[in-house]
Amino acid sequence: MKYLNRVVLKLSIAALSACTTSVVLAQSAAGAPPVRIAMVESFSGPFANTGESVFRNLVWATERVNARGGVKLPGGNRPLAIVRYDSKGQNEEALSALRAAIDDGAQFVVQGNSSATAAALLDAINKNNERDPARRVLFLNYSAVDPALTNEKCSFWHFRFDAHADMRMAALMQTIKDDRALQKVYLIGQDYSFGQAVLREAKAQLGLQRPDVQVVGDELHPVGRVKDFLPYANKIKASGAQAVITGNWGNDLTLLVKAAKDAGFDGKFYTFYGNALGAPAAIGDAGVGKVVAVADWLPNFPTQGSEQFYQSFRERFPKPEDDYVHMRMQLMVESLAQAIERAGANKPAAIDVADVATQLERAQVTLAGQSGRMRASDHQFQQALAVGVMDKKGAPGVKFDVEGSGYGFRVVRQIPAAKAQQPHSCNMQRP
């Protein structure tokens, strides 16, 4: 099918050629077919780089599980295999890809680089699972952070492993409230559910924690369609803003910060995703001490286990442009492997998706010193968050840079999971 890029059979990307080998070897050693994880994501179009960055993370995670024998089931161990389906950055294409994945026998679907796409997939999965119980699938979400997905739209079949937008904003706000020189901010975001949620929560939390700060701009722009952000950057500079708050990601972030630099804006950027995918290199020296990012984990997280984890990833993917590792995606795959094994204990080899979901509600995993657990009441993964500030590689606390740019992020604040969590309004309906 045109939507399918079969990783198990062929990888056209030379950097990932070893992945094919690892999957094939794992399958051969286990003597059983792999557990297929369908990845529905943009592998073409303006956000293709974000899809590829996630793919590398998921491949690395499955390789780790497969290296220890795969998932252990009574009928024989089974390896994990990521199978790519290109959404082309379009919801309709994503829905077609989902149908193809289900037809191909996938029981687990992963996606995350668009909350709008996630909402569309979730609705389709809910309907599929009710209509066709024999072909139920679980949806594991690694990056779609619209709070609604685990609030009013929560579903037994959906699990989110990233901190949602309100959680991330609360973490950022802990840094913003200490910046007493800040008096004027500009809010800008992508015009869809996630971007709208970020700006809405930014205004709400500024009102609560920094009512003295004036919002001098509040603007949304089309997702993935703006080629020249200079007009936006000029408005930011003209507004007198001392900082920008944005949830932009992918090229929408990179192009924005490049334009701001060209326009002569010298204020701070408080971001959700300013720590990678070209942004640090685009900003350069102007971002030192000024670009702030919130994440579940950062490469310069000050623990030995974290350092070893990051270095292992860089050994696996040594190209500078491939340098974007996500701890939460590793914990997601570990959680899935754990849930499959627990659901399969003392049962036939067939995997029951509902049983896996029940076990996934109880997931609690640790990797490289980082821990997380699933909150059963809304299926929102609970984990510590970190806030980092951009600095030059080699500066105190910045052992590692990003994408060979010469700039990395120094961790300035750690938020324990207990403080990072937010209340929810989910009324979970279970089958």
Kindly state whether residues 316 and 348 are assigned to the same domain: yes
Mean pLDDT score, 127-145: 97
Per-residue pLDDT band for 193 (boundaries 50, 70, 90) equals: confident
pLDDT of residue 229 exceeding 60, the answer is yes
Give the lowest-confidence range in 17-21, 135-139, 150-154, 314-318: 17-21
In a domain, 397, yes or no: no
Kindly state whether residues 238 and 150 are assigned to the same domain: no
Kindly state whether residues 28 and 116 are assigned to the same domain: yes
In a domain, 395, yes or no: no
Mean pLDDT score, 278-291: 87
Mean pLDDT of all residues belonging to the chain: 91
Q: Count Cβ atoms below 10 Å from residue 347 Cβ, excluding itself.
A: 13
Kindly state whether residues 127 and 200 are assigned to the same domain: no
Kindly state whether residues 348 and 277 are assigned to the same domain: no
In 210-293, which residue ranges form alpha helices assigned H by DSSP? 230-238, 251-263, 279-283
Q: Give dist(CA 247, CA 166) in Å, integer.
A: 11
User: Residue 254: what pLDDT?
Assistant: 87
Kindly state whether residues 236 and 146 are assigned to the same domain: no
CATH number for position 262 = 3.40.50.2300
User: Residue 260: what pLDDT?
Assistant: 93
In a domain, 392, yes or no: no
User: Residue 337: what pLDDT?
Assistant: 98
In a domain, 289, yes or no: no
Percent of the chain at pLDDT > 90 equals 81
pTM for this predicted structure = 0.89
Q: Give dist(CA 9, CA 59) in Å, integer.
A: 14
Per-residue pLDDT band for 19 (boundaries 50, 70, 90) equals: very low
User: Residue 5: what pLDDT?
Assistant: 47
Kindly state whether residues 236 and 323 are assigned to the same domain: no
Kindly state whether residues 135 and 219 are assigned to the same domain: no
Classify residue 227 as exposed, middle or buried by CB count within 10 Å of its CB (0-12, 13-18, 19+): exposed
Total count of domains within the chain = 2
Kindly state whether residues 158 and 14 are assigned to the same domain: yes
DSSP-assigned beta bridge partners for residue 369: none
Kindly state whether residues 150 and 171 are assigned to the same domain: no
In a domain, 10, yes or no: yes
Mean pLDDT score, 78-86: 97
In a domain, 313, yes or no: yes
* Residue 89 Ramachandran class (φ > 0 left, ψ -120 to 50 alpha, else beta): left
Q: 197: domain range?
A: 166-282+413-420
Kindly state whether residues 33 and 147 are assigned to the same domain: yes
Kindly state whether residues 184 and 246 are assigned to the same domain: yes
In a domain, 301, yes or no: no
Question: What are the backbone angles phi and psi of residue 172, rounded to the nearest 5°?
Answer: -60, -40
In a domain, 36, yes or no: yes
Per-residue pLDDT band for 31 (boundaries 50, 70, 90) equals: low
User: Residue 75: what pLDDT?
Assistant: 85
